Amino acid sequence: MSDLFNLWGNFLFHTRNVLFPVLIAALLFVYPPVKMGMVPGDYFLALGLLMVTTGQALRILTIGLAYIVRGGRHRRIYAENLVTDGVFAHCRNPLYVGNILIVIGFMFISGNTTGILLGSVGFLTIYRLIVFSEERFLTEKFGQAYIDFCADVPRWLPRVEGLRETIDSYRFDWPAVAVKEYGTLFTSLMISLGLISWKLNLAGSLAQNKIPIIAATVLIVAAYAVVRFLKKTERLKSMR
């Protein structure tokens, strides 16, 4: 059974950049957002925005303190070294926790209860399988050092104790955040804005809110374009 889980975890890691957007789009198509002004949809909207913000903040904090090169090589699970400092001293998978919060947050913003349930169970299962495969790879590569790390640091729920001291002990690398995270941040903002616009349209109130929606869209796209230009021209580089 563990070999089967490992096989699925590697497959999901390998296909995540294509598969995840397709799954999100499919969920929103089959279980579309509910219109603005509905209860409990509006409460779900507030919770969803909080989840997306928290997930994105966790990713930004992780990258700004001690980024881990574990994004894969040739779309396969890979790690150059075992990173145990920064936010990784408090949670073994902070970037994945951030991703889970963001993706499930999208479902909550939509406000469709069935979509929320299926999306939550589906993406929690997907990331658990990916982490299963990563843990096997890291155990084989780093041995006892990784086993000790797992015994000391929680897999999912970040340990808050000592987090303030960890943050204060680093020089936050804003250029690294901009270079490595601008794409994810752009996607998070645009999907959230798109879902809100969809919900407003269903409620027949999109026209009344088109100016702030357009202004926010222009601001997000402009910020993305500027950071991408600075990255491509190598005018923005990590301090590490």
Tens-place pLDDT, residues 49-86: 999 999 999 999 999 997 665 455 555 676 778 888 99
Q: How many CB atoms lie within 10 A of CB 15?
A: 12
pLDDT at 68: 64
Residues 222-234: tens digit of each pLDDT: 999 999 999 999 8
Does the pLDDT of residue 30 top 70, yes or no? yes
Return the closest-CA partner of residue 198 out of 111, 100, 118.
Answer: 111
Kindly state whether residue 188 falls inside one of the protein's structural domains.
no
The number of domains in the chain is: 1
pLDDT of amino acid 238: 75
Average pLDDT over residues 104-118: 97
Q: Which residues form the domain of 100?
A: 2-171
CA distance 197 to 217: 11
- Residue at 164 is within a domain: yes
In a domain, residue 229? The reply is no
CATH number of the domain residue 42 falls in: 1.20.120
Question: Cα separation of 158 and 134, whole Å?
Answer: 18
> Residues 188-201: pLDDT tens digits?
999 999 999 999 99
Q: Would you say residue 159 has pLDDT above 80?
A: yes
* Residue 207, in any domain of the structure: no
* Assigned domain for 238 exists: no
Contact 52, 109 (CB under 8 A): yes
Does 137 score more than 60 pLDDT?
yes
Unique residue bearing structure tokens 């990563």:
134
Average pLDDT over residues 209-234: 95
Residue position matching structure tokens 């040739």: 74
Place of tokens 């409990």: 40
Residue found by looking up tokens 């881990």 in the block: 68
Read off the pLDDT of each residue in 146-157 and give the average, rounded to a whole number.
Answer: 96
Asked, for residue 141, whether it belongs to a domain, the answer is yes
